[in-house]
A and B are shown apart, each in its own frame.
Chain A
Amino acid sequence: MIGDGEADQGQIWEASMAAAKYKSSNLTAILDYNKYQQTGPVDEVMPALKPIAEKWRAFGWHVREIDGHNVSEILEALDEVRQVKDRPQMIIASTLKGKGLSPFEADDVNRKHGEPLTEEEKQIALAELDEMLQRS
């Protein structure tokens, strides 16, 4: 499991090259593509991360893109990549930081990266989560 901000870092690409070289088919990486990192939107901090799927394909990985909040899609993707026997696999999961929770969504800078909610914000977020639980 890796992050998109984390993919700015060199060790991710070193490992990606090595895994492809050794045809590490027993390695499945899941990228939590939530679009925000500590200092701002990933697109602004490191624009060259895009096109993200093409990069891992070019590195010799099997790539699958999914909605990272859809449990059915996540299971399907994991089943699919398990069939790949000649290369490592990258599942690029598009996600949101604090999906449906207004205290996080209100922050346009970095979706409160590394910042716990205040007591007041916590009550709002928990009420919103409870509403989702009741609907589920």
Chain B
Amino acid sequence: MASDTRLRERTLEELRETSLKLSRQIIEITTRAGSGHPSSSLSAIDILTVLYFGGVMRYDICASWMAWKRRPVRSVKDSLSALDMRWQPAWTGATTASTS
């Protein structure tokens, strides 16, 4: 729960700034790769930022995928390039990305 509390302390301004920085990354990596869905990633980036940096998704950064207390469910939408779930542990500071 400690990580949950810490994430909650991010202010709305910090969340907006995080979202803009991640938007930069979405554009950088998709152009560099010459592939991906940047516009579909950008439309969801504020939502994803709140979920993963706003203290909504509870997780243990040292534990495995199954240890998420609020688990993300993959869909066609999630599998789009820069929003891929495999990226998200990296975004949120986790060192293990065992999401299959």
Complex interface bits, B71-98 against A, C-beta within 8 A gives 1, otherwise 0: 0110111100001000000000000000
For residue A97, which residues in chain B have a CB less than 8 angstroms away from its CB?
A: 39-40, 42-43
- Chain B interface residue count, CB cutoff 8 Å, equals 39
User: A112-B38, A116-B31 known; A136 and B43 CB under 8 Å?
Assistant: no
A46-80 interface (Cβ within 8 A of B): 68-72, 74-75, 78
**Is A90 in the interface zone, CB < 8 Å from B?**
no
Q: What is the bound-complex CA distance between A30 and B19, given in angstroms?
A: 17
Structural contact, B27 and A96, CB atoms closer than 8 A: no
Q: What is the bound-complex CA distance between A113 and B36, given in angstroms?
A: 9
User: A3-B76, A95-B44, A116-B34 known; A71 and B19 CB under 8 Å?
Assistant: yes
**Is A111 in the interface zone, CB < 8 Å from B?**
yes
Structural contact, A117 and B76, CB atoms closer than 8 A: no
User: A97-B43, A133-B17 known; A74 and B37 CB under 8 Å?
Assistant: no
Complex interface bits, B1-32 against A, C-beta within 8 A gives 1, otherwise 0: 00000000000110111011101100110110
Q: What is the bound-complex CA distance between A129 and B21, given in angstroms?
A: 8
**Is B66 in the interface zone, CB < 8 Å from A?**
no
Structural contact, B49 and A99, CB atoms closer than 8 A: no
Which B residue's beta carbon lies closest to that of A66?
Answer: B47
**Is B62 in the interface zone, CB < 8 Å from A?**
no
Structural contact, B13 and A9, CB atoms closer than 8 A: no
- Chain A interface residue count, CB cutoff 8 Å, equals 44
Q: What is the bound-complex CA distance between A69 and B12, given in angstroms?
A: 12
Structural contact, B21 and A114, CB atoms closer than 8 A: no
**Is B100 in the interface zone, CB < 8 Å from A?**
no
Picked from B33, B44, B83, the residue with its CB within 8 Å of the CB of A116 is: B33
Inter-chain pairs besides A114-B37, A115-B38, 10 sampled, C-beta below 8 Å: A1-B44, A34-B44, A68-B44, A104-B38, A104-B42, A117-B27, A117-B30, A122-B27, A129-B24, A136-B13
- A residues near B (Cβ < 8 Å) are 1-3, 6, 9, 27, 30, 32, 34, 36, 68-72, 74-75, 78, 93, 95-99, 101, 104, 111-119, 121-122, 125-126, 129-130, 132-133, 136
- B residues near A (Cβ < 8 Å) are 12-13, 15-17, 19-21, 23-24, 27-28, 30-31, 33-40, 42-44, 46-50, 54, 56, 72-73, 75-78, 83
